[in-house]
């Protein structure tokens, strides 16, 4: 439906592309998003727990630890995320991961950087993506967490440790399970290279935080390998009902 508009733009000497979310025609060289989709991807910086990202209260409220994280802190110090896993953000990530929309890599990396800089994230010694098992990597063709981590590593000018963390078991997708089943499914599924991570403060990167089971297991694995500390960055935080 957009082809006639693009053809007309070219005839008039205008450069045009499409919105990365909805496909609406947008000027080439400008934002990869139309105004409506850009407005539907708000950056959340307040009214949240800085440890787990649980959102409560007004978005203008300062970050404050939730009761759960005060009682049982996660195995990382800070969690950064851009916004809620819903609406335009959900469509953007699902299209990227499951419908071969690899051209969205740069945009998603930019959203990750904006989340990090808005919260004045601590510059890490190295950046570590949550890994995929080799079989899953062959099936999908790329690791979305690695591609997001590339942009973060460039932004903070820190090494990207592609092999700092590896997945040793090809676990079933976490989306099939509830909280307890997720924890059991992912337990012992990772290994860290102590030669790469020991003594370093790390930024662990993934795309979506749902229950945090995967990120907790990754952070614990890195700490057992001797890293100095872990912060976490994800693009989106799921709000559980």
Q: Give the CATH number, domain containing residue 166.
A: 3.40.50.2020
Regarding whether 187 and 134 lie in a shared domain, the answer is yes
CA distance 48 to 55: 4
106 and 151 Cβ atoms separated by less than 8 Å: yes
Q: What are phi and psi of 55, to 5 degrees?
A: -100, 130
Regarding whether 60 and 32 lie in a shared domain, the answer is no
Regarding whether 188 and 73 lie in a shared domain, the answer is yes
Regarding whether 96 and 208 lie in a shared domain, the answer is yes
Task: Look at residue 34 and give its three-state secondary structure.
Answer: coil
**Sole residue written with tokens 């100095």:** 228
Regarding whether 204 and 167 lie in a shared domain, the answer is yes
CB atoms within 10 A of CB 81: 26
pLDDT in tens, 80-95: 999 999 999 999 999 8
The counts of H helices and E strands in the chain are 10, 8
Regarding whether 115 and 21 lie in a shared domain, the answer is no
What pTM value is reported for the model? 0.85
Q: Give, for 166, the enclosing helix (H) or strand (E).
A: strand 165-167
Regarding whether 206 and 160 lie in a shared domain, the answer is yes
Total structural domains in the chain?
A: 2
Regarding whether 85 and 98 lie in a shared domain, the answer is yes
* Measured CA distances, 162 to 117, 140, 151 (Å): 22, 17, 13
Regarding whether 84 and 181 lie in a shared domain, the answer is yes
Q: What residues contact 226, with CB distance under 8 A and at least 6 apart?
A: 194, 197, 198, 199
Regarding whether 143 and 25 lie in a shared domain, the answer is no
Q: What residues contact 224, with CB distance under 8 A and at least 6 apart?
A: 192
115 and 80 Cβ atoms separated by less than 8 Å: yes
Tokens at residue 151, please? Answer: 């942009």
Q: How does pLDDT run along the chain (241 residues), one tens digit per residue?
A: 334 333 434 443 445 577 877 878 877 666 778 888 888 898 998 999 999 999 987 888 999 999 999 999 999 999 999 999 999 999 999 988 887 777 788 888 889 999 999 988 899 999 999 998 878 777 777 788 999 999 999 999 999 999 999 998 766 565 555 656 666 667 878 999 999 999 999 999 999 999 898 999 999 999 999 999 999 999 999 986 5
Distance from the first to the final alpha carbon of the chain: 37
CA distance 144 to 235: 11
Structural domain containing residue 192: 42-237
Regarding whether 55 and 3 lie in a shared domain, the answer is no
Regarding whether 18 and 137 lie in a shared domain, the answer is no
């Amino acid at each position: 439906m957009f082809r006639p508009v693009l053809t007309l733009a070219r005839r008039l000497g205008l450069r045009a592309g499409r919105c990365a979310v909805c496909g609406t025609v947008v000027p080439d060289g400008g934002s990869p998003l139309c105004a409506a989709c850009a407005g539907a991807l708000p950056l959340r910086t307040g009214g949240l727990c800085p440890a787990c990202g649980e959102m409560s209260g007004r978005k203008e409220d300062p970050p404050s630890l939730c009761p759960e994280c005060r009682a049982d802190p996660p195995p990382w110090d800070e969690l950064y995320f851009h916004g809620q896993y819903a609406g335009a953000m959900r469509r953007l990530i699902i299209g990227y991961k499951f419908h071969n929309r690899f051209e969205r890599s740069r945009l998603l990396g930019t959203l990750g950087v904006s989340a990090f800089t808005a919260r004045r994230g601590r510059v890490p010694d190295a950046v570590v993506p949550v890994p995929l098992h080799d079989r899953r990597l062959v099936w999908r063709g790329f690791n979305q967490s690695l591609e997001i981590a590339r942009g973060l590593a460039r932004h903070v000018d820190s090494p990207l440790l592609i092999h700092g963390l590896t997945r040793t078991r090809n676990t079933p997708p976490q989306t099939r399970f509830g909280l307890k089943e997720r924890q059991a499914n992912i337990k012992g599924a990772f290994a860290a290279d102590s030669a790469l991570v020991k003594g370093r403060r790390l930024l662990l990167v993934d795309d979506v935080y749902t229950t945090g089971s995967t990120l907790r297991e990754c952070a614990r694995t890195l700490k057992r390998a001797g890293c100095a500390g872990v912060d976490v960055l994800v693009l989106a935080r799921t709000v559980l009902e």
